[in-house]
C-alpha cells in the first residue's frame, strides 16, 4: 500500500474502514464538498473537532493524490478544517499522586510511577523492552518507529526511575512491565480509571501523567528549552503551554536585571539637590513657549 512506510499506517486503515460506510462504491470524481462536510460533522458529533480534522486531512490527501499523481480526477473539493480547541494541561499534586497510588494494584503503581518519573507516552511505557534499557548508565532509548516524531529518543533516568525498573527484573525475558508474568498491553484500563475516581481525582486521564511530569519540572525551574529536549517535543509551541506554571522562575530572571539597575543607580552619586535641579530643568523644558515673554 501507498502508506505502509508511515507510522500512522494502521490508524489510516482504521479511518478508511470507518469512511467506507459513506463512500463505498462511490467514484472519487462524484464526491462533493457537501458530502465531505456531512461526514466531518458526523465524526465531530461522536468524537471531537480535532479527530474530525484528522479524517478530513486523510480524505484530502487521497483526493489530492488522485488528482496530482494518478490523474483520476480533475479537482478536489475545498473544505475548511474545524477550529481546534487549545490542548488542555491537566496535572495533579504530589498529595493527589499519593492518593492515587493507594488505590492502584501493585503492577499499576509501578507503571504510574514510571510514567511520572520519565514523562514517557503511554505506548512507550507499556512496550518498553529490556534491550532498550541501560541500568548502569541510567538511560533508555525509544527507537524511531515507536516514537511520535519518527526520531530516536534518548531518556536520562533518575535513580527513582531506575529503582522502578529494577523491581521488574526477572519477571519477563523481553518486556519490562508485566502482570502475572505476561507483558502489559494496555494502561488506560477501566481498572485504572476507577482507581482515579476512588482517589477523588476529577477529569484526569493517563496522558495527564505526562502533563504532570512536565508541570512539576517547570514549577521547579526547568527551562522550557530543556523540557522540550527531555520530552522529545518537535515544536516549542507544544512546550510553551507549560510556561505559565513557572512564574517564580521568570521572577528570578527579572531580578537579575533589577539588581544590575540598582547597582547602576547606586554608583551615579546624584545628591538630592542634583536630582531636584535635574527635575526642575526637565520641568522648565516642558513649559510651553510664550511669545509675550520676549
Closest CA to 146 of 122, 164, 180: 122
Give the span between the Cα atoms of 199 and 222, in whole angstroms.
Answer: 29
Q: Reduced to 3 states, what is the DSSP secondary structure of residue 141?
A: strand
Sign of CA dihedral 231, 236, 241, 242: positive
Q: Which of 43, 126, 210, 211 is catalytic?
A: 210
In the numeric block, the cell 479511518 is attached to 15
| Sole residue written with cell 502533563 | 211
E strand or H helix at 135: none
Task: Decide if 210 is catalytic.
Answer: yes
Determine which one of 54, 67, 148, 175 is catalytic.
148
- Catalytic pick among 121, 126, 127, 211: 121
- Give me the helices (H) in the chain, please: 9-23, 33-46, 49-68, 94-103, 106-118, 122-126, 159-166, 190-198, 208-219, 224-231, 237-240, 247-266, 272-286
**Structure-block grid coordinates of residue 82:** 474545524
Q: What are the distances in angstroms from CA 186 to CA 66, 70, 122, 178?
A: 37, 40, 9, 10
How many residues are there in the chain?
294
Q: Is 148 a catalytic residue?
A: yes
Catalytic residue among 7, 67, 107, 207: 207
Selecting among 82, 130, 141, 233, the annotated active-site residue is: 233
Contact 148, 207 (CB under 8 A): no
- Give me the torsion for CA of 239, 240, 246, 249, rounded to 10°: 100
Strand partners, 142: 153
151 CB-contact burial (10 Å; exposed 0-12 / middle 13-18 / buried 19+): exposed
Catalytic residues: 121, 148, 207, 210, 233, 242
Amino acid at each position: 500500500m501507498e502508506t505502509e512506510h508511515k507510522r500512522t499506517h494502521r490508524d489510516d486503515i482504521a479511518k478508511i474502514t470507518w469512511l467506507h460506510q459513506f463512500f463505498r462504491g462511490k467514484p472519487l470524481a462524484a464526491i462533493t464538498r457537501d458530502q465531505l462536510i456531512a461526514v466531518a460533522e458526523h465524526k465531530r458529533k461522536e468524537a471531537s473537532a480535532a479527530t474530525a480534522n484528522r479524517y478530513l486531512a486523510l480524505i484530502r490527501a487521497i483526493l489530492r493524490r488522485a488528482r496530482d499523481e494518478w490523474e483520476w480526477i480533475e479537482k478536489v473539493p475545498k473544505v475548511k478544517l474545524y477550529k481546534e480547541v487549545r490542548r488542555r494541561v491537566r496535572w495533579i499534586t504530589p498529595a493527589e499522586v499519593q492518593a492515587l497510588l493507594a488505590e492502584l494494584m501493585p503492577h499499576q503503581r509501578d507503571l504510574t510511577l514510571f510514567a511520572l518519573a520519565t514523562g514517557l507516552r503511554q505506548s512507550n511505557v507499556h512496550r518498553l523492552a529490556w534491550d532498550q534499557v541501560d541500568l548502569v548508565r541510567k538511560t533508555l532509548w525509544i527507537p524511531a518507529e515507536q516514537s511520535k516524531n519518527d526520531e530516536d529518543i534518548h531518556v536520562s533516568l533518575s535513580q527513582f526511575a531506575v529503582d522502578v525498573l529494577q523491581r521488574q527484573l526477572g519477571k519477563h525475558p523481553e518486556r519490562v512491565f508485566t502482570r502475572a508474568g505476561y507483558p502489559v498491553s494496555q494502561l488506560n484500563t477501566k481498572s485504572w480509571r476507577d482507581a482515579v475516581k476512588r482517589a477523588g481525582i476529577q477529569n484526569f486521564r493517563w496522558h495527564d501523567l505526562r502533563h504532570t511530569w512536565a508541570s512539576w519540572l517547570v514549577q521547579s525551574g526547568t527551562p522550557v528549552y530543556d523540557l522540550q529536549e527531555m520530552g522529545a517535543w518537535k515544536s516549542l509551541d507544544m512546550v510553551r503551554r507549560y510556561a505559565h506554571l513557572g512564574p517564580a522562575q521568570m521572577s528570578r530572571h527579572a531580578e537579575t536585571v533589577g539588581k544590575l539597575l540598582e547597582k547602576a543607580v547606586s554608583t551615579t552619586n546624584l545628591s538630592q539637590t542634583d536630582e531636584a535641579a535635574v527635575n526642575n530643568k526637565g520641568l522648565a523644558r516642558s513649559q510651553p513657549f510664550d511669545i509675550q515673554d520676549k
